[in-house]
Structure 1
């Protein structure tokens, strides 16, 4: 049995100081993923600092018309926010598709962004895994990899990032605000998530003890017409095989603005910049959508088990674009 010291933080500065001073410590919020990993001996901290009481729960309008979401806001609270549902429906839809109601009532927004991969080799605490034990090797590369990534992979890791809402936030150029030993920091969402490269154990640029305090979604009129499409093996409480978050506006049948990100197919929430480049200024036709999908998946590197994801991702891209442009409308 491993002994774990538990304490409840009274203030943000104290929580950061406590965790920063002890490399074997970690923050604890909703715990919907962390507790599972503790039980499986995948995570082995010796101290947990509970931050649930910190005043980081607000969902507020930002000065630019966007929204600032506290890191400890519950997924269910954010999804139900009238401000989020009106201005960023893709965020609400991604949150509602991301977990069961029970988990959404417990899980926090910051914790959702930091949740660990669902790779079975990472989670069994026995199989070689470069995320869990750097240099050990990647069991998934030669193992069963149906649910793994085809984009952003490396020889050291092909695990898929599990978050749904992070995909929507990637499409909307969100920023992640933190507080730690370097003071306040703000990361663009695309820089916040790291591809594995040679260091798959580093999934984000945070230093030990650096705490997410808020997520800022900037104003984007195009986001008022946005959707999240998730394809999975079953209809509820399942991770995406492929998903797409998309916001789009049309002017006289031409795509005037488009934001597109993919989930379930990459090692991080995948902003589809190549597809956006094809679509911007193009006529809203199925041929244009198919070409954008083809271009985005050009560099996909599937395994024998997940090659179907390449075609599936292309179809999901086409479908989400057709959904937003049905009858020449973006509503």
Structure 2
């Protein structure tokens, strides 16, 4: 029986798409070429998925450079290890999977190619199509285009805002008086203003990995004090999100280097609620529950601050809220932490109200 798989044709299409993508990116420095590169990249990913579904031995890898400096040796491998194995009766030696890489959901998209120091190998006869991908000049040109694109978008945004409100930037430059302090996760998929329908000037934003409020973190504590005492925000929102990579990493019992002291805060939350969490069999559900518990714990940490306690005693604001954003549906969930009850409980020990 022939071993030629449908992935063979798709592999060829993928190689052609790669050539088209990079030739498009090099042909012009105009925005149109950037769009062509983006469209071609989408087409490449589509071909990759199709080929992978058609052939279990299809691989896609970026090889790291073998020379320093420069990246001239980088190659894009698109291959089906059995493409020309019509004389073989079985696929007994598929290419080995790439080594497991540490990853963070904030930075690593599922479609990101894996890294390997070697091209796909197999003891069976293999035809590997090697296409040079983005030589040094192509990389430089792509980086210039992606950098310039931000300024193009900025100018378009300015034009649109001015069209809708000719005094928009006059008002914006007059000063800020935001209603909200938003403490959220650094994840690039959680843009605070967009998901909450807020405009520039309506929210004071602080973000870090897994939306933590650590009392020895001078960054977040300074943000809280400035927002409460000088900006006089009315609401403080701690917003996490389901599927948080920081929370998932904290659930992994292993050494994560410089992240250890940061993630220890989340691991302490797990320890405090281990009975509840260990009873949840599904790992995803357990992680999502830890996301909620972490948000509630960070709300407590906000309430422990002197600025919040003293302001609330005098002015009856700010109110602290715990929310979670759903990446799968775009909705915000209010955890209804019960601010006043939480404040009263905390002040049994952490009473910093000077009145």
TM (norm. structure 2) is 0.27
Higher relative contact order structure (alpha carbons within 8 Å, sequence separation ≥ 6): 1
